[in-house]
Copies of this chain bind each other. A is one copy, B any other.
């Protein structure tokens, strides 16, 4: 890894890093976010073992659309042409949901921020749809799980 903050120039000013001369390689990144809520809230989302109506579908769509808007949201991100975005939502305990977002493309910069943005906005959309019944939901563990491709190569949260 680098030992300096690459988004600042030598004077400490923010700039969008020059990637003009970087190679085009296949990039993939997966990010996670979890939501901790009351068990009764989770029951309302998942009724009788089946995802209820549009709640999960709305969150998946919101995450996919947000991943595409990343360069508009994170000021120093490069605009990218994502070739794949998926958002999966899993029940991981009686009071926790897990959101996973995977993005990929063939390009000059990585897609970590796209995966993190997709996971975050999908999680916030779940919060939005549940806040009338449970304002105390907390989003935890927003983090990169894995990335592949590019000069820095493979990175996995488990390896650190």
Interface of A with B (CB < 8 Å)?
1-9, 11-20, 22, 26, 44-45, 52-58, 60-62, 64-66, 68-69, 71-88, 104-106, 108, 112-113, 116-117, 120-121, 123-125, 127-144, 147, 155, 157, 160
Contacts and interface: CB of A to CB of B under 8 A. Distances in A.
Given A1-B135, A13-B57, A82-B79, A73 B66 contact: yes
A128 B79 contact: no
B121 A74 contact: yes
Contact of A55 (B8, B62, B66, B72): B8
Most buried by B among A69, A75, A127: A75
B83 A78 contact: yes
Contacts of A132: 1-2, 4-7
